[in-house]
Structure 1
Amino acid sequence: MGADNARPEESRSAPLSNLHCDETSPQCQRCVKRQITCSFLDEGPERLSTPSGNILVFDRRITKTLDYPPLPGLDSDPDQLPHGSTPISRPQSGVVAGEEGSLGGKQFDLLDLELIQHYSTRTYMTMSSRLSTHVVWRDTIFAEALRHDFLLHGLMATSALHKATMQPKTSDAYAEYSKVALAHQNAALAGYIPAVSKPTQDNGIALFSVSLLLTVWAFASKRLPEGLNSVKLEFDQGDGSPGITLPLHSPTADFIEIIMILRGIHAVIRETDSWLQGDIEELLRYPRDADLPPHSADVVEAFEVLARAIDDPHLTPLLEHEGSNSTKSLCLEQLERLRTISRCRSVVEWDGHIFSWLIMAPLPFIHCLKQGNPMALALFAHWAAIFQCMDHHWWATGWAYSLVAEVSSLLDPIWGPYLDWPRKQVGLAFQEGATFDGHR
């Protein structure tokens, strides 16, 4: 191409391969030297085949001609922006649910590619502490995302949230990435909500994957993603819940709503279990008893102290007022479950197993939490203190402290001795007087 415009001496002496434009160079120096039209700029969108057979359309003309320089500081560290810097305005995301390019493929802009690259190099490693699951999040789930738009949007939403948490909360970059994350969340839910009611072998893994991402979004945002209420209603069918009587929008009330998402994930697993085979099964593994060490002496003592609360004569009137003997038995049963499951706090690889206490808890106990039963809340405070083992995950940071602080303020001061251990674990100080004060 362009050989007819070359000087005669060059066309005789140069090998034929050298007459083609150099598409590895942003400026195509061969064509510049010959003063010929460069096919690098003339040719249309490049069609890239994926392993799953999809066609991704990547228009090189757009990326080479649009004046959208990279964000400041990204050359040295793609996750960090200089403090106080203003993000460069970039095109709106081109990947929209159901939107097809002129050649039947998806159109990606620079921001989409940035989020995909960040997920594929950084975010996937933060989804779980267990090394054996990293390749599943990086390869298996990403391959499914190339087949299902709603999962691809879900991965980009998670990547954008991850990048947002790396910026100062007062910065423009934080606001920009948060806005992009919300847009991708909405696009993901637009495809997920109708599909989750009719799972199939084809979309089972994708639905399961987005269900896991929902929890990350809720934890990271400290609130429910937009549009998630309709999903939660599907999950809560047959719940018979009396509703939450805790303070509206309090950390504990919001957390219990997130727990309902977690329980909904378990419902999705039940619906798609027969199709969750192969590499994806690694995400369903539970630790063996031999994988978890025994509790340290202080934890053993903490559970023994909590168990005595049931027989504390000072608490008996409160417990009798709040629930029947069956409720007391239920709480003791959940205390024993927590005593066993919480051993995972000592093994980073299995820290995510801590969620199983709430995911698998019987609905009557969840109802006790929603209604503010004091014994259930005291148990929950111990779980929350143990949940601090997840603080190293960007999406879970800070929850343990907030939950223990609030439960301490909700319960009567007479419960103080039974909350000493969880309060010490998260760094709370006791303020003399009639109430608890949640400060470090």
Structure 2
Amino acid sequence: MHHYSTITANTLALRLDMQHIWRMVLPEMSYNAPFLSHGLLSVAALHKAHLLPARRDKYLDLAAYHQTRGMEGFCGLFISIDENNWHPAFCFSSTIVIYAFSSAGQTADAMADILQIFVLIRGIRSSLLGAGRNLTQTPFSAWANGIWIVGENDEASYDFDPPLDHSALPLDTFQALRRLFAFYRTNLSDCNREDYEFATLQLRKSAILIVHAGPQAEIGMVMFFPYVISANVMSDIQAKDPCALVLLSYFSVLLSLVEHQFWYVQGWSRRLIEAIDLRLDGNNKFSKVAKWPKTTIARLEKS
């Protein structure tokens, strides 16, 4: 736990108040929740595997051990989640997401991996943050406040393009998202057009959060996306529908803007865009729309 508390915890967020939760609140809570201790130790082992390539296999094995032990306790608790125990369960679920993103949780199929992560995040949201539960009334309020630096439901604040002069976002980001919105409006039928238009607006919301955050763009500013898209879009992702693949390609651009700050997601945007490009190969209509994400990620990697 020493490595976790002194080093790893501070790599899991950029804002000091969010780091404090990882560094102090979770370890203290884990004293009465052994499964959470295993989750934190698993994350620490993943971090060491990242830092020490020569000993990578050893630490990945250790991470898998602690993840398995933690899951045993978590699953036993999950069937009886209530107001008295959902806090440690929610915290452990955050370690599951980190594990799924890390090399320990990856397979050779990037599309299957991202689907699993999206399903996981949606499940956490519905199971642990349902029933009127809200992070703002918990010791983890900074996790929510640090992401929604522009009010989540303050729709008027998302109506206008913020200036990109001091942002890492490409200068044509909002134009590209408008083109994507127009593509869906023109090419989709009434039954699913609204779902994709809404999803595109959520990508715009993510981009605006990143702009306002400046150099402190938290990963949650991108990863709220899986839990706000519709079940229809999720089904299309599972089916590898070209419309969903194009949407994921634009999501990949936003992920690429934060992944260099968070070791466990590094390389993910490249994995996704390559898998999407392979799937869209030969489909000129959709490949053309996905060209902007592909060229943008390639350019960002070189900068």
- Which category describes the TM-score, using the shorter chain as reference length? 0.7 to 0.9
Counterpart position of 1:121: 6
- Alpha-carbon RMSD across the aligned residues, in angstroms, is 2.7
Residue in 2 aligned with 1:338?
203
Deviation at 1:403, TM superposition (A): 0.6
1:402 and 2:271 are equivalent in the alignment: yes
Tell me the residue number matched to 2:98: 216
Query: CA 1:138/1:124 → structure 2, altered by over 3 Å: closer, same or farther?
Result: same
Matching residue of 2:194: 329
| Structure-2 residue corresponding to 1:288 | 150
Distance in 2 between residues matched to 1:294 and 1:274, nearest whole Å: 29
Between the two proteins, what is the percent identity of the paired residues?
21
1:335: Cα distance to partner?
Answer: 1.4
Aligned mate of 1:355, from 218, 223, 247 = 223
Secondary structure of 1:395's aligned partner: helix
> Aligned ranges for residues 206-285 of structure 1 at < 5 Å?
206-221=88-103, 223=105, 250-267=109-126, 268-270=128-130, 273=133, 277-285=137-145
Question: 1:303, 1:339 within 8 Å by CA — same for their partners in 2?
Answer: yes
Report the Cα offset of residue 293 of structure 1: 7.2
Shift of 1:302: 0.9
Q: 1:152/1:325 Cα in 2 relative to 1: closer, same or farther (>3 Å)?
A: same
More helix by share: 2
Which amino acid letter does the alignment assign opposite residue 424 of structure 1? T
Aligned equivalent of 2:81, options 195, 199, 203: 199
Q: 2-side partners of 1:396 and 1:274: how far apart?
A: 26
> How big is the shift at 1:418?
1.3
Shift of residue 147 of structure 1? 0.9
Tell whether the 8 Å contact from 1:344 to 1:350 is kept in structure 2 after alignment.
Answer: no
Report if the CA contact (8 A) 2:101-2:265 is conserved. Answer: yes
Q: Choose between structure 1 and 2 for higher RCO, CA contacts under 8 A separated by at least 6 residues.
A: 2
Is contact 2:196–2:233 with CA below 8 Å preserved after alignment? yes
Give ranges in structure 2 of 5+ residues lacking alignment: 152-156, 165-170
Q: Select which of 139, 163, 173 maps to 1:299.
A: 173
TM-score, with normalisation over the residues of structure 2? 0.84
Query: In the comparison of the two structures, how many residue pairs are matched?
Result: 281
Structure 1: where are the runs of 5+ without partners?
1-115, 225-247, 429-440
Structure 1 residues 252, 271: CA separation in 2 closer, same or farther (over 3 Å shift)? same
Q: Deviations over 1:368-393 (max 9, x none)?
A: 21112222211111011111122120
Residues 251 and 403 in structure 1, CA contact (< 8 A), matched pair in contact too: yes
Q: Distance in 1 between matches of 2:67 and 2:130?
A: 24
Residue 213 of structure 1 deviates from its aligned partner by: 0.7
Equivalent residue of 1:128, what SS?
A: coil
Which letter maps to 2:117?
Answer: I
- Please give the alpha-carbon distance, in whole angstroms, between the structure 1 residues aligned to 2:286 and 2:217: 34
Which residue identity lines up with residue 146 of structure 1 in the other structure? Y
TM-superposition CA deviations, 1:208-249 (whole Å, max 9, x none):
10011110000013637xxxxxxxxxxxxxxxxxxxxxxx95
Aligned to 1:98: none
CA distance in 2 between counterparts of 1:276 and 1:309 reads 37
Using the size of structure 1 for normalisation, the TM-score is 0.59
Listed as ranges, the matches of 1:380-391 within 5 Å are 380-391=248-259
Q: Deviations over 1:235-286 (max 9, x none)?
A: xxxxxxxxxxxxx952012111111111112121225826984422222332
Deviation at 1:351, TM superposition (A): 4.0
Q: Is the 1:153–1:187 contact (alpha carbons within 8 Å) kept by the matching residues of 2?
A: yes
| Matching residue's letter, 1:403 | L
How far is the alpha carbon of 1:194 from its aligned partner? 1.2
Q: How does 1:137-156 map to 2 (within 5 A)?
A: 137-156=22-41
Q: How does 1:425-436 map to 2 (within 5 A)?
A: 425-427=296-298
Runs of 4+ that moved beyond 4 A:
289-293
